[in-house]
Amino acid sequence: MSSLSPEEEEKILHSPPKGTFALLLVFAALFMGGFLYMYFYMYLLHGPVN
């Protein structure tokens, strides 16, 4: 393993976690998709409460 220069270490430590943000977006999209599916196809299709 090669050692990093102090400038490279500083750059890595102060960069935003792009992979974490991407994973958050994927899970947010899945959660929103599941919620919309439940709301429109499981809740609204059953009609009003009698």
In a domain, 10, yes or no: no
Range of the domain at 24: 17-50
Confidence of residue 21 (pLDDT cuts 50, 70, 90): very high
Token digits of residue 41:
């196809």
- Hey, is 50 helix, strand or coil? coil
The domain tally of the chain equals 1
Q: Is the pTM of this model over 0.85?
A: no
Asked whether residue 50 is assigned to any structural domain, the reply reads: yes
In the chain, alpha helices (H): 6-13, 18-37
With respect to residue 35, please indicate whether it lies within any of the assigned structural domains.
Answer: yes
- With a CB cutoff of 8 Å and minimum separation 6, the contacts of 4 are 12
Higher pLDDT, 45 or 25: 25
Length of the chain: 50
